[in-house]
Structure formats: C-alpha cells, structure tokens
A and B are shown apart, each in its own frame.
Chain A
Amino acid sequence: MIRDFLGKIGNTTGFLLSGTARLGALFADVVRYFAGVLVRPRTLPRETFAYQLTTMGLESVGIISLVGASVGAVLALQAAYSLKDFGALNYTGSLVCVAMARELGPLIAAIVICGRIGARIAAELGSMQVQEEVDALTTMAIHPVRFLVLPRVMALMIMLPCLTIIADWMGMVGGYLVGRFALGINPEVYIANSIRALVLKDIYTGLMKSEIFSILIALVSCHQGLSVSGGSDAVGKATTQAVVISIVLIIVVDCLATAVIYYAL
C-alpha cells in the first residue's frame, strides 16, 4: 500500500517534471522565433496573428465585462457585511478597487480566457494534428511552432492584459453600483475612498501577473493541442487537460507571484 502510494507520488513528480521540461522547451522555441520576428518581421504569420487578436479580444469583451462586474458586486456585498460591524462601511470602495486591481481582475480574466481561448486553441491545434495539417506544415518546411504557436502566444500576451483592465474596471463599476444603490453609500465618498486607496503599483503588478498568465495559458494549450495523437477522443482529452492544467498553474503561479511581489520585494 505504502509502496503503491510512494510509487504514485514518484510517477506524478516525474510526470510534472517532464511536462515542465516540455513546456520549457516549447517556450524556448517561441522565444527564438519571436527574436526571429524582431529581426525579420516577414516571418510572423500575419493573417493568423490578426485573426487570433480579434477572436481572442473582441469576442471575449462581453463575457469578461459581465463576470468582472458580477465579481465586483459580490465583493462589495461581502465586504460591506463585515465592514459594517467596524463602522467602516464607507471603505467598501477601497477594498473592492484594490482587490480587483491586484488580484481578482487578473485572476478572473485569466480563468475566463482559459476556458474560452485555451480550450479553443487546444481543440483547434489538436484537430489540426489529427487531420495531418501539422504534418503538412512540416513537409512544407514550415515549423509548426513559428506558424501556429507564436501568433497565438503573442496575441494572448497582448489581449489578456487588455481584458484584465476591462475586468478591473467593470469590477469597480459593479462594486460602485452595489455600494451606491444597495448599500446606500454616498457616491462621492465611495469614489474618493477608492481613489485614495488605489496606487499605481496595484495596477501594474496586476498587469504583470496577467502577462505571465497569458504565456502560461497559450503555452499549455498549444502544447496540449500539438501533443494529440490518435483520434477525436484524444482531442477532447487534450482540451480538458489544457483548461485544467492552465487553471492549476495560474493559481499556483498567482500565489507565488503575490508572495514575491508583496512580501519579498
């Protein structure tokens, strides 16, 4: 029993290490081709890049806004419930704004995008693998990482921080609406407190985190998609895996990043 258990731990560790190594190798490839694009812009597949930018960005604005506003509203309700006991109801705005900018904005944007875009990338690349499209690229001497992975990573690196700003903003709006209409906080006091509490560091550390999340989501999803072998059931599995692995990594990395940013620096 214990041996089984230890064996399982060993296997999982080995799996994690080899997975991390493969992700690292993919990342190194992406960085290399990115450097290539800086030298010769022609090597970036522009159509794919533009297409990915629009599908990732525009089509996600609605859902990100909705989720952002809801989280902001819930946060305001919950915060007010506790703050009231201390007579600090007026500080609801500060709490919502800081929490959204530092933590919840980047996190919910990343998780929504992970489910929307990560799954889509994994399924798309997975079915390309199954239908020999990736082989076709290889036989045309076009490297799949440059042609497929690079534009997706770059597009997500640009779009996720933008969506994070939208999520931040909508969360604050949601909190404000709840504060004003449901909790009866004076709107001028609410806004003044929010502005006083929010510092620039809150926003840019949040954006830095979302930049890291975007790389994680894109790399994990592309990797899952490209490692599909077999039929359509493998595509389904890769899609689920992409979302699950990305979310776990996002939360773990978020934890580490927060610890480093607010306690070590």
Chain B
Amino acid sequence: MDSIIEVRDLVKKFDGRAVLNGVNVGIPRGKITVIMGGSGCGKSTFLRHLIGLHQPTSGDILFEGKNIAKMDRNGMDGVRRSFGMMFQGSALFNSMTVGENVAVPLREHTPLDESTIKIIVKIKLELVGLTGFEHFYPHQISGGMKKRVALARAIALDPKIVFYDEPGAGLDPITASMIDQLILDLSRKLNMTSVVVTHEMKSAFRIADQVIMLHKGKVLEVGSAQQIQNSSNAYVRQFIEGEPEGVIPFKQTSEAYLQGLLDS
C-alpha cells in the first residue's frame, strides 16, 4: 500500500508521562483514514504530531519520505502548503469576514490576482454550502457554519491531505452527515487524502477506508471499517457498542482510591 505518511515508533512524553507510546502506522494516499479511541487515548496529540504542531520525544514521521519530525521551520512551512487542517473549534479569525478567512491562505501563498481569489473563495464556500455568507463575521454565524467555513479555508489551497479534528462534534446530524459527504467527495473525486479524528461511530464507519484504533498511546488495531466492526478485540467491541461494562469496567474500584481515602 502506498502511504503518504508513515509513522515509526512515535513516542511523546509530557512531563515524563507517555501520551503516545510507540505508534507505528501508515496513512494510505488518497484514502480516508479515521483515528478512533476514547478520550485521553492520545488521538488529538497524534494528530498534532502529524501536522507538526508537536515535536515527538522520539520516533519518525515521514511525509512523502521526508522526516517532518526533524525538520526546521522553513522545511516544515514547505510541507504545510500541502496540508489543510480543520480545527475542532473552527479557529476562524474573528476580526475577518468569512470570505477573508478563506482568502487568507490564498493571499499569503499564491501570486493570484484579487479577482481570481474572490472567485475561488466563492467556489469553496459553495462546496460547503455557504454561498452568500462571504460578508458575515464569524460571530454572526452558527457553530455548524463556522465549522464549514473552517473546512472551506482548509481546502482553499487544494491540499494533498486534509486533517479533521472532530469534524462532526457539536453539529446537528444533517450538517454532520453533509460534512461526511464532503470528505467523501474530496477524497473520491479529487483524490485528496483525509485523516479524521473522531469518536462518532456512525460517521466513522460511513467514511473510513482505514480505521486506526488508539488505546493508551498505542495502536490497538488497524483495519478497514468492516474489519473493525467485526473485530474480536474486547476493547474494540466495547468501544463500538458503547457499553459501560466490559474490559474497561465502569464500576472499578482502584486500590489507590481506597488507599487514599483510608490514609487521609
């Protein structure tokens, strides 16, 4: 399989606590990879490593053969031109209109004329279903709309790979499935690679070509949506079915808890 990103022995420690503990995985080119896992499993940290917002404690991240874990700022900026990122909280610039937000990467990185940029902005906004909203400010539109603007901005430069941090979180089911459809379209028609971090099962299985299941900073299982759905791993089963009882018991009573209470 042709991997656009190859992660090898990725370890990240915050103050000595390992959040990622030896991750080995590949992101296939032109496919949709969904990263799943419970809260605190390290999936957001993993994503931030892929886009170079975190430096790993050890290990390598190869983007098209280049190790971005050891790159300087200029090299990283070059790589980032082929990245698009949609943040969980949209991260729109509040002092700019919707149109200007989408235009930022175009104005900064291309020699295009302002009239061409305006047309591209319109095309991108139509893609996310927001035609006519150019002149609104982020505080004037709803959370779901902000997310769609963030997506329009992420794909403004036609990136090779788009990263999505919880694209469906906080959206109504219709808007969420619209964004799913958009991710599918971009991937199928334009051959864009997508990396999606989510814990929403329904959406994950609808779009995923490959699912990476993270647990406690390690890759628990990698496979197609179907393989994961039919997994025999107890934790994966519990996660998919959303049961409170399983290998991760809800009513666990830890030694430390009792000890702590009795000692005080």
A124→B94 CA distance, assembly (Å): 10
Residue pair B104, A140 in contact (C-beta under 8 Å) = yes
For A176-191 the 0/1 string (1 means CB < 8 A from B) is 0000000000000000
Q: A138-B53, A142-B104 are in contact. Are A51 and B95 (CB under 8 A)?
A: yes
A59 to chain B, nearest CB (A): 15
Q: Which residues of A in the span 180-205 have a Cβ within 8 Å of any Cβ on B?
A: none
A13: Cβ under 8 A from any B Cβ: no
Q: A47-B100, A135-B53 are in contact. Are A140 and B105 (CB under 8 A)?
A: yes
How many residue pairs, one in A and one in B, have C-beta atoms under 8 Å apart? 52
A47→B107 CA distance, assembly (Å): 11
B220: Cβ under 8 A from any A Cβ: no
A213→B89 CA distance, assembly (Å): 36
Q: A47-B100, A136-B87 are in contact. Are A141 and B93 (CB under 8 A)?
A: no
List the B residue with the shortest CB-CB distance to A130. B89
A50 to chain B, nearest CB (A): 12
B258 to chain A, nearest CB (A): 32
By the criterion of a CB under 8 Å from any partner CB, how many residues of chain A are at the interface? Answer: 17
**Interface range, B side:** 20 to 34
Q: A131-B91, A132-B91, A133-B93 are in contact. Are A139 and B85 (CB under 8 A)?
A: yes
Contacts of A143 in B (CB 8 A): 73, 77
List the B residue with the shortest CB-CB distance to A52. B95
B44 to chain A, nearest CB (A): 11
B164: Cβ under 8 A from any A Cβ: no
Q: Which residues of B in the span 194-251 have a Cβ within 8 Å of any Cβ on A?
A: none
Residue pair A142, B91 in contact (C-beta under 8 Å) = no
Q: A47-B96, A47-B100, A135-B53 are in contact. Are A140 and B80 (CB under 8 A)?
A: yes
B11: Cβ under 8 A from any A Cβ: no
A128 to chain B, nearest CB (A): 8
A51→B76 CA distance, assembly (Å): 30
List the B residue with the shortest CB-CB distance to A147. B108
Residue pair A141, B85 in contact (C-beta under 8 Å) = no
Q: Which residues of B in the span 144-167 have a Cβ within 8 Å of any Cβ on A?
A: none
A47→B97 CA distance, assembly (Å): 12
Residue pair A132, B104 in contact (C-beta under 8 Å) = no
A132→B94 CA distance, assembly (Å): 12
Residue pair A142, B87 in contact (C-beta under 8 Å) = no
| Partner pick for A141 among B53, B81, B92, CB 8 A cutoff | B81
Residue pair A139, B92 in contact (C-beta under 8 Å) = no
Q: Which residues of B in the span 82-131 have a Cβ within 8 Å of any Cβ on A?
A: 83, 85, 87-89, 91-96, 100, 104-105, 108-109
Contacts of A142 in B (CB 8 A): 104-105, 108
A: residues with CB less than 8 A from B are 47-48, 51, 124, 128, 131-133, 135-136, 138-143, 147
Given A48-B95, A133-B92: 6 more A-B contacts, CB < 8 Å: A131-B89, A138-B80, A140-B104, A141-B80, A141-B81, A143-B77
Contacts A/B (CB < 8 Å), 19 sampled: A47-B96, A128-B93, A131-B91, A132-B89, A132-B91, A133-B91, A133-B93, A133-B94, A136-B93, A139-B80, A139-B83, A140-B80, A140-B85, A140-B108, A140-B109, A141-B76, A142-B108, A143-B73, A147-B108
Q: 9 tightest A-B contacts by CB?
A: A136-B91, A141-B80, A141-B77, A132-B91, A139-B85, A132-B87, A133-B91, A140-B105, A139-B51
